[in-house]
Amino acid sequence: MVNKKLIIVSSCIIVVLFTIYLIVSLTSSKVDPEKSSLVKEPEVFFKVQDIINSELQKEETRDFIYIANKMYVKSKGYDSYYFINGMFITHEDETEESDYDFNRNYFVLLNGNSYNIERIYTDNVEEYSKDFDMNSRKLTNPQLADSFKYEEKNKIVFYIAYYNTLFNNNPQAAYSLLSDNMKEKYSAYSFEENGMLLTPLFERYDKTTKGKNTIYTIKTNSNTITIIEASLMDFKIEY
């Protein structure tokens, strides 16, 4: 049986490494400049998430991870305006329980690899992005983002580690990631007691499509994991 502590630690490490070792460059999205749209390109999504984690690294003394959940974008010329909803998890050390904020939001203004970032306080990031006036903000004293390489396998590893992070900090949120088949095996209550962490370590995976969904099948040393992806960050897990 895979050691539970090892899985928790490795999942946290992988989430952090994934945000550090992604993406060569950003691709421009074709969007209506007057409207915001949901970011669907993984290269862009994880690049912006990496920028947030890099900035937080400058000020946080605790172990932490910021995981984006939903991300919206508006564009004007070479400037892209990103509005991000996500969760922020911290802990002092392995013996302490984690503190988590499941509604931490950020704004990132990006031009090429130059950016500005700030925290935004709103209960609805989508509405905030729709009402945002792009003429009110220009790059000032920009920071420079690193360049990284994105690989599809890293996204799959991230999904598994994301599930593990939720299971370890908010089992009910992890339960919502289960497929309907899995929910027939567990009630929301029994899942908290009997659900399991998944190893994010594997060598290869199979990829198929079914309708509009992409199916990833991952065989690990301990079990087989299936991820049904409808779109970026919209997925269900079976095992």
Structure tokens given for 67 = 């995981």
- Give the Cα-Cα-Cα angle 141, 142, 144 (nearest 5 degrees): 140
Q: How many helices (H) and strands (E) does the chain have?
A: 7, 10
- Give which of 148, 129, 164, 214 is closest to 14, Cα–Cα: 164
Mean pLDDT of all residues belonging to the chain: 86
pTM of the complete model: 0.78
How many residues are given for the chain?
Answer: 239
Q: CA 221 to CA 208: how far, in whole Å?
A: 21
Q: What DSSP state is assigned to residue 97?
A: P
Going from the C-alpha of 192 to that of each of 5, 21, 74, 95, 167, the distances in angstroms are 17, 32, 39, 20, 8
Domain ranges of the chain: 22-144, 152-238
pLDDT at position 21 = 44
Provide the sign of the torsion angle of the four alpha carbons 113, 118, 123, 127, taken in this order.
Answer: negative
Q: CA 230 to CA 88: how far, in whole Å?
A: 24
**pLDDT tens, residue by residue, 181-223:** 999 999 988 999 999 999 988 989 999 999 999 999 999 888 8
Of 64 and 12, the structure prediction assigns the larger pLDDT to: 64
Q: CA 69 to CA 179: how far, in whole Å?
A: 18
